[in-house]
Amino acid sequence: MPDTDPPSPSSEQFITLLNAAHGRLLGFLRVMLGNNADAEDVLQRASMTIWRKFGEYDAAKDFFAWASSFAFYEAKNFQRVSARSRLHFDDELLERLAEERVTDLDHREARLAAMDHCIEELDNPSRELVREFYLNNTELTVLADRLGRAPQTLYNKLNVLRRLLAECMKQRLAQEAGT
Amino acid sequence: MNADLDSSEMHRLFAAKADGTIAPEEHERLSTLLRNSANARQEWFAFQDAESAMLAWAQREALRREEGVGIETAAHTHAGSEPAHGAPLKYAGALAAGIVIGVLAWAFWPRPQGALTPNTPGLAARDEATTSSVAVLSRGVNMAWDETVGVPAVNSPLPPGVLRLQSGVAEIEFFQGARLCVEGPAEIRLISAGEAFCRYGRFSAHVPPQARGFRINTPKGDIVDLGTDFGLDLNATSPEVHVFKGEVELHQPPTPTRRLTTGTAAGLDQPGANRMLAANAAAFTFSHDLDAQVSASRREAFEQWEESNARRNSDRDLQLHLDFQDQQGSRSVRNAAEHGDAIAAGTIVGCNWTEGRWPGKGALQFHSVSDRVRLNLPGEYPQFTLAAWVQLHSLNARQSQSSLCMSQGLEVGGVHWQVLHDGSLCLGIVAEAHPPVTDDYISPVVFTPDRFGQWVHLAAVFDGVAKEVRFYVNGERLSRHSLKRAVMPKPVMAELGNWIPSPDYTGPHPVRNFVGCMDEFSLFARALGDDELRQLTQ
């Protein structure tokens, strides 16, 4: 085995690598596109390109670094043709975000872990609101209707929770860095 | 105070952008802020990660709540009755051109309270499994695993934990890039993508430069690899490490760290005794032989398949057997069944020819939304068995169904065999045409992420006589369901790996394409029994 090259790229390898990089690629795309649905869409398209180009992938190189360049172009392309929203970051800002995000992603896992703790600390009604909102991507008007509350009130409450959680996450991360 | 104000305004803009409620001038403000402030960009990144965390949490929460239902289903299945949620008839909503979109998947998901989208929990499951794995079992020969500890399948991702190989040779690829060949008897505990603890066994490691720092801990000391090939024998009376190429560090506190380079070996028993030896590559040939052994055992399996194939093709009830042994590049797949005169060769649209379960075995790869095999399956089937060897590559959470074999359109008697987005199997028989109503029989979940990329034998049996539908995975019965009503199945025009409403339909229709490979497909005009199904997979 010592003298043989790494096995030729296969679909299994591709899937393993793509699965392992899935979260980070999504995290990479989110900061450019701003929301999860678009990031998922673009990642889906980028996966096709990455698969087609997989023959050129050098197994000695970092898969994420290689794959993220395709994701970046797909994101740019998506913004160009997407009719869903006319508001996006311009290319220059996009490039800047992409570049800085690559190193910033090292903090992602820690942030996710800290947030998990913070969410658990919420009271029940707050947790339910978070769950409903993120799971269903429920139109707040629908949710408000069901709960018999004004949409704006609900949205404000959600944003208060988001800030609270962000603050909690920050503190946890600072504590961890301190210890 | 001022900073607080800024931060709260910034957060408001972040949320508005994420929720798509941001106004143009606000968007301009956000862009400027991100352009000019490194701190704002950092906050933006953290905000997005926090959003990811909340989404992932919500999905896990849904999955957790759903698990209760899953257990109930399994219990019912073992008892041989219908699943607990043996859903009522699903009425096709009058969606675009009367086509059903995800109606059945929708009905399948439990809704604890009010609305709950059907497509998210599957995604969470996939994400979770991938983040917890650290390595993959890439190959192996004659592997006998200690069943009390766990039996991993080839190509399955491996989470941290213990593996005990009683005999045979296994190859583990760590996500960091190191490749470890293990000869049983051996016990190894995977710690991370770059670290393992080996209690006993013989190991041969190949560590490419990007996996430098790969660490193997043993009861006798730790080995840190600096980009090498080395062997480790913990089964010898005196455990030894042999370096074939490159360099390793040997940590045996309190002895100072030792470095071993190409061609040297050291005993682990007496730290610091400097019992330097010549590396003996011959002692680790099991890893060099792995390639040859793997191909020999695969060749043997292929030959066995060819042999049994001839026997199977003579089955009187076998109407269609696609073995995908057509010429590479062929645009049709021939029907190899001896008594299958009624069914012509299938026509390939798109798809790529690829290798199947073994070298020499052909397979079709379905990848894009256009890939399919068109078949004409005339006649009525009071009983039938559909069977296929497939390798599923992924499930799209946004797509409710992936076709294994589906009748065109939604005519009465149409047969729809498919994988649902959550990884369960569904056999649907169209029972009413206007509006379309399909009687769906849904199995427990089969495709969890660790099954992606593996060859799996699937079978669905429709038995109009015994009035039941049965599902099988790798020859074992998974579930059985009582027939909801008597409908005579008539597949007529059908497609493998895809579905179309009708050839002349031009509007948009839901995507149903299968993403993966298929290397065998059969249709029997008989309800195969448990024993027959078991034999079929051997």
- Average the pLDDT over each of A83-87, A96-100, B259-263 and give the range with the smallest value: A83-87
Position B132 confidence tier, pLDDT thresholds 50, 70, 90 = low
| Mean pLDDT of the A150-166 span | 86
Q: How far is B8 from chain A (nearest CA, A)?
A: 8
pLDDT bucket at A85, cuts 50 / 70 / 90: low
Angle B57-B63-B65 from CA coordinates, rounded to 5°: 105
Q: Would you mind telling me the total number of residues written for chain A in this entry?
A: 179
- Provide the pLDDT for residue B330: 92
Instruction: Determine what percent of chain A is predicted with pLDDT higher than 90.
Output: 32
DSSP bridge partners of B385: B461, B524
Tokens of B536: 């079929």
A83: pLDDT confidence band, cut at 50, 70 and 90? Answer: low
pLDDT at B517: 95
> Contacts of residue B138 in chain A, CB cutoff 8 Å?
7
Does position B145 have pLDDT exceeding 70, yes or no? yes
Whether residue A174 lies within 8 A of chain B, CB to CB, comes out as no
The least confident of A75-79, B69-73, B216-220, B370-374 is B69-73
Distance CA B413, CA B411 (A): 6
**Would the CB atoms of B210 and A62 count as touching at under 8 Å?**
yes
Among B34-48, B263-277, B322-336, where is mean pLDDT lowest?
B263-277
Distance CA A54, CA B196 (A): 29
Task: State percent of chain B over pLDDT 70.
Answer: 84
Structure tokens at B340: 């299958």
Does residue B435 have a cis peptide bond before it, meaning omega lies within 30 degrees of 0? yes
CA distance B158 to B493: 42
Sequence-distant (≥ 6) Cβ neighbours of residue B516 within 8 angstroms:
B365, B366, B390, B391, B392, B393, B394
3-state secondary structure of B123: helix
* A95 in contact with chain B, both atoms CB, cutoff 8 A: no
Indicate the residue of A35, A59, A61 with minimum beta-carbon distance to B18: A35
User: Least CB-CB distance to A89: which of B31, B61, B157?
Assistant: B31
Counting every residue, how long is chain B? 538
Average pLDDT over residues A63-77: 91
Kindly state the average pLDDT of the residues A120-129: 86
Return phi, psi of residue A111, to 5°. Answer: -65, -45
Q: Is residue B112 pLDDT above 80, yes or no?
A: no
What are the residues facing B425 on neighbouring strands? B419
pLDDT confidence of residue B515: 92
- CB contact (8 A) between residue B130 and residue A89: no
Burial A16-27 (b: 16+ CB within 10 A, else e): bbbbbbbbbbbb
Burial of B434 (0-12, 13-18, 19+ CB in 10 A): exposed
Task: Answer whether B62 sits within 8 Å of A134, measured CB to CB.
Answer: no
- How confident is residue A1, by pLDDT bands cut at 50, 70 and 90? very low
